[in-house]
Structure 1
């Protein structure tokens, strides 16, 4: 199989028609393949939730376009929901709030010789698409929703 202008054009067309503004193309050779390899066409405005892969690193290579891979750290705040409770307060009186703080932004743009990156295992991340892009993604292990 060749990754040419026609294939990428079809992926872009499908991504534009997809309400999620992205379209992947599975590169596995069978459903028994335990790796994840895909092309992913991304249109500006697509929303990829901040997520992580606890058991694998992720390799991302940009074939065309421009986007940022954004890496975050998780910030957990514990708040006492009932001020003034004694020191031995019940755990149910404490709320846990999770937020994310950006720690790194990696620009991918082959026109600028910025081709790809490796996202560390367990790192929280997302992607911000600047112009229509196609990336190759690879991760170990079978897909886990």
Structure 2
């Protein structure tokens, strides 16, 4: 298989037909392969939820286009639910756990600007924001379950 402009154009076409505005292509040669290597076409407007991979780093190489990889830290706060008039003793029912994500790093990828890729640390919360149609190569440990 050759990765060329014709192949990437087909990925962009398929991504445009997909309601998620992205299309992935598994590069493994066997389902027994326990690595994850794929090409992903991403169009502006696609939403990649903030997520993390607890057991592996993730390598991202941008073949074409322009996007930002955004790294976050998890911020957890606890809010008391009980009215102030109640006694100080509280149990788990009286507390709400609130999770938010605070941006800590933005890595701009654009091969035309000589910004080719990045490594996302194991356990780091992250997403991508697509600026213009892009194709990335993504690799990490663990078989793709998509």
TMscore range, shorter length: over 0.9
* Gap change, CA 1:144 and 1:96, over 3 Å in 2: farther
Q: How many residues are treated as equivalent by the alignment? A: 145
Q: For 1:66 and 1:74, locate their aligned partners in 2 and report how far apart those are by CA, in whole Å.
A: 26
Q: 2:91 matched to which residue of 1?
A: 90
What are the superposed Cα offsets for residues 86-124 of structure 1, whole Å, 9 maximum, x if unpaired? 332111100001110000000000000000000000000
Question: If the length of structure 1 is used for normalisation, what is the TM-score?
Answer: 0.97
Match runs of 1:32-111 below 5 Å = 32-84=32-84, 85-111=86-112
Shift, 1:144, TM fit: 4.8
Root mean square deviation, CA, Å = 1.0
TM-score (norm 2): 0.96
Q: Distance in 1 between matches of 2:145 and 2:37?
A: 13
Runs of 4+ with >2 A deviation? 83-88
Structure 1 residues 74 and 27: CA distance shift in structure 2, 3 A: same
SS of the aligned residue for 2:44 comes to coil
Cα distance in structure 1, aligned partners of 2:38 and 2:145: 15
Query: SS at the partner of 1:74?
Result: strand
**Partner-residue secondary structure (3-state), 1:40:** strand
Rounded Cα–Cα distance in structure 2 between residues aligned with 1:86 and 1:2: 69
SS at match of 1:30: coil
Q: In the aligned structure 2, how far is the partner of 1:142 from the partner of 1:23?
A: 17
Gaps of 5+ in 1: none
Partner Cα distance (1:25, 1:143) in 2: 11
Distance in 1, matches of 2:144 and 2:22, equals 18
Matches within 5 A, 1:3-42: 3-42=3-42
